Structure 1
Amino acid sequence: MITFDQCASAYIAAHRGSWKNAKHASQWENTLETYAGLIIGAMPVASVDTALVVKVLNPIWQDKTETATRLRGRIESILDWATVSKFRVGENPARWRGHLENLLADPNKLGRVEHHPAWPWQELAEFMVQLRSREGVAARAVDFAILTACHSGEVRGAAWAEIDVEGALWTIPAERMKAGREHRIPLSSPAVEILKRMPRVDDLVFPGRRQGTALSDMSLTAVLRRMSRPDITVHGFRSTFRGWCAESVANSFPREVCEHALAHSLPDKVEAAYRRGDLLVKRTMLMQTWADFCAGKITG
């Protein structure tokens, strides 16, 4: 009667040592908890069949194709582990070839890019008033993500050891960055205030409900849904920031400063060769200007 969740925990524990960093294990845990847990988590692993696997995958197969395909592979691996461990028998209901490929659309034809709708930068100050009236760790994480123009995963995984509150600097190590390079983020005064109000109950700045676990991506998305904006994603606020950088008359910062703020590599190799620094001083001014705009202190 071992459950799917118990098998998932055992599988992750068995393979954690072979994964290159802790982020990989947390990605497994978060996606399984978010999308599979409520449907099959508490079920005996022997009872998980094709219909249940499709029930897990179908809601996100079209809109979050990349996430859904990774989830399918993870479920398949866990069910394989359960079979080898004698907790279930028969073929794997999460296998793709000759099986789920007949029930679900080809993910390659659906497209690999997940679209992240952006909040119009001209309306951001009004949104921030609403956001800051909400309580909870997830709401503060969304606020911090907007102020720092970071990915959701970078914020959810933020550790106190990475942050110099007094120096107003957040240094994300290379292993937690998509580009694989250390990224220093100057913190505006509102971002520092968020940190000062967060209780240090864990190594994580924005801890989840369970000790030692990060917030799930869905926790941040739920904040936006409760604000009646299910069409907007946390990632989309990076596009909001980029739009403000490009179009706002209040922003006179050069393009390379804005690109560094987003941890983007400069597309021109010659230009990049002359910009080997991370423009921290200029980015400090940029992020404070952005924070002032978010607070409605400057317009345009």
Structure 2
Amino acid sequence: MGAKALEFAILTAARSGEVREARWTEFDMQKSVWTVPADRMKAGREHSVPLSRQAMLVLNDIPKFLHSELVFTAPRGGSLSDMTLSAVMRRMGVAAVPHGFRSTFRDWVAERTAYPSDVAEMALAHSIRNKVEAAYRRGDLFEKRRQLMQDWAITRYVRITSITISSPSAHEMNPVNANAVADICRPRC
């Protein structure tokens, strides 16, 4: 399950804790939206995440356990630990941390796309630091973020599909998997 959580974190550019604590009730599967409640967000504000087709595939591939409201459950139940995603990366031979994918996402938007920086910042759920701009900014750029996340998934998904080839309990993963994450993570992780 850790590999699926890592894949989902990459596709959504979400923080590890947000992904590990995700609950099925937060997802609108018809509209492809994940609404993370304010109490789990760093900035303390609810955040709606537009889900790419690839992120939806990850969710649809996860069995819904009747005894758990969590999307990504630990082998013995409950939420994944804060080290689970890092452990998946270590088993793959990748010297990086999951949070590095958020930095990689931000660099990709700035260096490889024409999306404005405010769309990327909203996708990452960053607060607006300029007080004047924050006072006047009312929208959430949701539709622009939806397209951004789909573009991110398209450009990265070919390389990250191999993450889930091995079962979550496997102790070793195919070297192709390590290359997949390494390709995504360069140069910032």
The question of a shared fold, defined as TM-score above 0.5 by the shorter chain, is answered with: yes
Q: How far does the alpha carbon of each residue in 1:52-93 deviate from its partner, in whole angstroms, 9 at most, with x for none? A: xxxxxxxxxxxxxxxxxxxxxxxxxxxxxxxxxxxxxxxxxx
Cα drift, residue 149 of structure 1: 0.5
Residue 221 of structure 1 pairs with residue 83 of structure 2: no
More helix, by proportion? 1
Cα drift, residue 260 of structure 1: 0.3
Greater RCO (CA < 8 Å, at least 6 residues apart): 2
Q: How far does the alpha carbon of each residue in 1:231-262 deviate from its partner, in whole angstroms, 9 at most, with x for none? A: 300111100101101111xx111111100001
8 Å CA contact 1:165, 1:195 repeated in 2: no
Q: How far does the alpha carbon of each residue in 1:176-207 deviate from its partner, in whole angstroms, 9 at most, with x for none? A: 11111000000000000111110001210000
Could you say which residue in structure 1 is the equivalent of 2:21?
Answer: 157
Q: Given the alignment, which residue of 164, 169, 189 partners 2:53?
A: 189
Q: Given the alignment, which residue of 227, 234, 239 partners 2:103?
A: 239
Residue 258 of structure 1 pairs with residue 124 of structure 2: no
Query: C-alpha separation between the residues in 1 aligned to 2:157 and 2:114?
Result: 18
Residue 267 of structure 1 pairs with residue 129 of structure 2: yes
Q: Given the alignment, which residue of 137, 148, 157 partners 1:295?
A: 157
Counterpart of 2:82, as a letter, is: D
8 Å CA contact 1:266, 1:272 repeated in 2: yes
Q: How far does the alpha carbon of each residue in 1:242-288 deviate from its partner, in whole angstroms, 9 at most, with x for none? A: 1101111xx11111110000101122222223321111111001100
Could you say which residue in structure 2 is the equivalent of 1:179?
Answer: 43
Query: C-alpha separation between the residues in 1 aligned to 2:58 and 2:71?
Result: 10
Counterpart of 1:166, as a letter, is: Q
After superposing the two structures, state which structure 1 stretch, 288-297 or 216-225, moved more.
Answer: 288-297
Work out the percentage of aligned pairs sharing the same amino acid. Answer: 55
Counterpart of 1:155, as a letter, is: V
Instruction: Could you tell me which runs of 5 or more consecutive residues in structure 1 were left unpaired when the two chains were aligned.
Output: 1-136
Q: Given the alignment, which residue of 161, 168, 182 partners 2:32?
A: 168
Counterpart of 1:205, as a letter, is: V
Counterpart of 1:226, as a letter, is: R
Q: Runs (4+) of structure 1 moved beyond 3 Å?
A: none
8 Å CA contact 1:174, 1:181 repeated in 2: yes
| SS of equivalent residue, structure 1 residue 203 | coil
Query: What count of residue pairs does the alignment treat as equivalent?
Result: 157
User: Root-mean-square deviation (CA), in Å?
Assistant: 1.3
Instruction: Could you tell me which runs of 5 or more consecutive residues in structure 2 were left unpaired when the two chains were aligned.
Output: 160-189
Q: Given the alignment, which residue of 140, 159, 165 partners 2:4?
A: 140
Counterpart of 1:242, as a letter, is: R
Cα drift, residue 167 of structure 1: 0.9
| SS of equivalent residue, structure 1 residue 295 | helix
**TM-score after normalising by structure 1:** 0.51
Map 1:50-61 onto structure 2 (within 5 A): none
